[in-house]
Chain A
Amino acid sequence: MEAATAGTRAAAEAQPRKRGKISNRTKSERRLGWMLCAPAVIVMIAVTAYPILYSVYLSLLRADLRFPGDRAFIGVDNYVTVLGSSLWWADFFHTALIMVVSVSIELVFGMLLALVMHRAIFGRGLVRTASLIPYGIVTVVAAYAWLLAFSTPSGGFVPHVLGIQHDLVDQGHPVTSFLVVIAAEVWKTTPFMALLLLAGLALVPDELHEAAKVDGASAWQRFWRITVPLMKPAILVALLFRTLDAFRIFDSAFIIGQNGTNPKIETVSILGYNQLLNRLNLGLGSAVSVLIFLCVLVLAFFFIKVLGTERPGDAA
Chain B
Amino acid sequence: MVAGCGGSKTAAAKLNFWSYDEPGGTFRDAAKRCTQQSNGKYQISFNALGNDADTQRQALVRRLAAKDSSIDILSMDVVWTAEFAQAGWIKPWPANFRAAVSKGTLNGPLQTATYKGRLYGAPANSNTQLLWYRKDLVPGQPPKTWDDLIDTASKMKTAGRIEIQGAQYEGMTVWFNSVEQSAGGQILSGPSKVGLPTAPTMNALRIMAKFGRAKSADPSLSSQKEDQNRLAFESGQAAFQINYPFIYASAKANNPKLYQQIGWAPYPTVNVADSAKKAPVGGFNWGVGGYSKHPAEAFAAAACMRDSQNQRDFAIKGGLPPTLSSLYDDPAFVKSYPFAKLVRQQLEAGAVRPQTPLYADVSLAIYKTLSPVSAINPPQTLGQLRSRITDALQSKGLL
Question: Which A residues are closer than 8 A to B by beta carbons?
Answer: 62, 64-68, 81-82, 85, 87-88, 153, 166-167, 170-173, 259, 261, 263, 271, 274-275, 277-281, 284, 288
The contact of A170 among B54, B167, B368, B399, by CB within 8 Å, is B167
CB atoms of B361 and A279 under 8 A apart = yes
In the complex with contacts A65-B61, A67-B357, A172-B222, A278-B54 CB distance below 8 A: yes
Cα distance A62–B220 in the bound complex, in angstroms: 40
CB atoms of A153 and B395 under 8 A apart = no
Cα distance A81–B398 in the bound complex, in angstroms: 7
Distance from B223 Cβ to chain A, minimum over Cβ atoms (Å):
3
Closest 10 CB pairs of A and B: A172-B223, A170-B223, A85-B398, A65-B65, A87-B398, A172-B222, A66-B87, A171-B223, A64-B395, A172-B220
Distance from A175 Cβ to chain B, minimum over Cβ atoms (Å):
13
In the complex with contacts A67-B395, A281-B395, A171-B61 CB distance below 8 A: no
Distance from B110 Cβ to chain A, minimum over Cβ atoms (Å):
24
Residues in chain A near residue B190, CB distance under 8 A: none
In the complex with contacts A68-B87, A280-B61, A81-B396 CB distance below 8 A: yes
Residues in chain A near residue B21, CB distance under 8 A: none
Q: Contact mask B194-232 → A, CB, 8 Å, 1/0?
A: 000000000000000000000000001011000110010
CB atoms of B398 and A173 under 8 A apart = no
CB atoms of A271 and B167 under 8 A apart = no
In the complex with contacts A67-B357, A278-B360, A271-B228 CB distance below 8 A: no
Kindly report which residue of chain A lies nearest to residue B223, judged by CB atoms.
A172
The contact of A85 among B167, B361, B397, by CB within 8 Å, is B397
Kindly report which residue of chain B lies nearest to residue A88, judged by CB atoms.
B398
Residue B55 interfacial (CB < 8 Å) = yes
Residue B358 interfacial (CB < 8 Å) = yes
Q: Contact mask B49-87 → A, CB, 8 Å, 1/0?
A: 000101101100110010000000000000000010011
A–B pairs, 22, beta carbons within 8 Å: A64-B395, A65-B61, A65-B87, A66-B86, A66-B395, A67-B86, A67-B357, A81-B396, A81-B398, A85-B397, A153-B228, A153-B231, A167-B223, A171-B223, A172-B222, A271-B398, A275-B398, A277-B58, A278-B54, A278-B57, A278-B58, A280-B65
Kindly report which residue of chain A lies nearest to residue B82, judged by CB atoms.
A66
Residues in chain B near residue A81, CB distance under 8 A: 396-398
Residue B259 interfacial (CB < 8 Å) = no
In the complex with contacts A153-B228, A171-B168, A263-B168, A279-B58 CB distance below 8 A: no
Residue B169 interfacial (CB < 8 Å) = yes
Kindly report which residue of chain A lies nearest to residue B221, judged by CB atoms.
A172
Cα distance A279–B227 in the bound complex, in angstroms: 26
Cα distance A277–B58 in the bound complex, in angstroms: 7
Cα distance A233–B83 in the bound complex, in angstroms: 54
- Taking A171-B167, A280-B61 as given, write out 9 further A-B residue pairs in contact, using a Cβ cutoff of 8 Å, ordered by the A residue number: A66-B86, A81-B398, A85-B397, A171-B222, A172-B222, A274-B399, A275-B398, A277-B58, A278-B360
CB atoms of B368 and A173 under 8 A apart = no
CB atoms of B55 and A173 under 8 A apart = no
Distance from B129 Cβ to chain A, minimum over Cβ atoms (Å):
20
Kindly report which residue of chain A lies nearest to residue B170, judged by CB atoms.
A261
In the complex with contacts A171-B223, A279-B399, A259-B167 CB distance below 8 A: no
Kindly report which residue of chain A lies nearest to residue B395, judged by CB atoms.
A64
Residues in chain B near residue A280, CB distance under 8 A: 61, 65
Residues in chain B near residue A166, CB distance under 8 A: 220, 223
Residues in chain A near residue B57, CB distance under 8 A: 278
The contact of A259 among B55, B395, B399, by CB within 8 Å, is B55
CB atoms of B83 and A66 under 8 A apart = yes
Distance from B189 Cβ to chain A, minimum over Cβ atoms (Å):
20
Residues in chain B near residue A278, CB distance under 8 A: 54, 57-58, 360
Residues in chain A near residue B231, CB distance under 8 A: 153
Cα distance A114–B357 in the bound complex, in angstroms: 55
In the complex with contacts A66-B87, A87-B399, A261-B169 CB distance below 8 A: yes
Distance from B52 Cβ to chain A, minimum over Cβ atoms (Å):
7
Residues in chain A near residue B399, CB distance under 8 A: 87, 274-275, 279
Cα distance A67–B192 in the bound complex, in angstroms: 13
CB atoms of B368 and A263 under 8 A apart = yes
Distance from A176 Cβ to chain B, minimum over Cβ atoms (Å):
11
Cα distance A279–B83 in the bound complex, in angstroms: 11
Kindly report which residue of chain B lies nearest to residue A281, judged by CB atoms.
B395
Residues in chain B near residue A284, CB distance under 8 A: 398
Residues in chain A near residue B52, CB distance under 8 A: 259
Max count, chain B CB within 10 A of own CB: residue among A82, A275, A277? A277
Cα distance A314–B87 in the bound complex, in angstroms: 52
CB atoms of B61 and A279 under 8 A apart = no
Residues in chain A near residue B227, CB distance under 8 A: 153
CB atoms of B220 and A259 under 8 A apart = no
Residues in chain B near residue A65, CB distance under 8 A: 61, 65, 87
Kindly report which residue of chain B lies nearest to residue A272, judged by CB atoms.
B398
Distance from B160 Cβ to chain A, minimum over Cβ atoms (Å):
18
Kindly report which residue of chain A lies nearest to residue B368, judged by CB atoms.
A263
Residues of chain B in range 73-120 having any CB-CB distance to chain A below 8 Å:
83, 86-87
Cα distance A65–B361 in the bound complex, in angstroms: 14
Q: Contact mask B152-168 → A, CB, 8 Å, 1/0?
A: 00000000000000011
Cα distance A280–B59 in the bound complex, in angstroms: 12
Residues in chain B near residue A271, CB distance under 8 A: 398
Residues in chain B near residue A279, CB distance under 8 A: 360-361, 395, 399
Distance from A58 Cβ to chain B, minimum over Cβ atoms (Å):
14
Distance from B372 Cβ to chain A, minimum over Cβ atoms (Å):
8
Q: Contact mask B270-311 → A, CB, 8 Å, 1/0?
A: 000000000000000000000000000000000000000000
Cα distance A81–B396 in the bound complex, in angstroms: 8
Cα distance A171–B55 in the bound complex, in angstroms: 20
Residues in chain A near residue B368, CB distance under 8 A: 263
Residues of chain B in range 321-371 having any CB-CB distance to chain A below 8 Å:
357-358, 360-361, 368
CB atoms of A82 and B61 under 8 A apart = no
Residues in chain A near residue B360, CB distance under 8 A: 278-279
Kindly report which residue of chain A lies nearest to residue B169, judged by CB atoms.
A261
Max count, chain B CB within 10 A of own CB: residue among A67, A68, A172, A275? A172
Cα distance A246–B57 in the bound complex, in angstroms: 29
Residues in chain B near residue A288, CB distance under 8 A: 398
Distance from B210 Cβ to chain A, minimum over Cβ atoms (Å):
20
The contact of A67 among B55, B87, B398, by CB within 8 Å, is B87
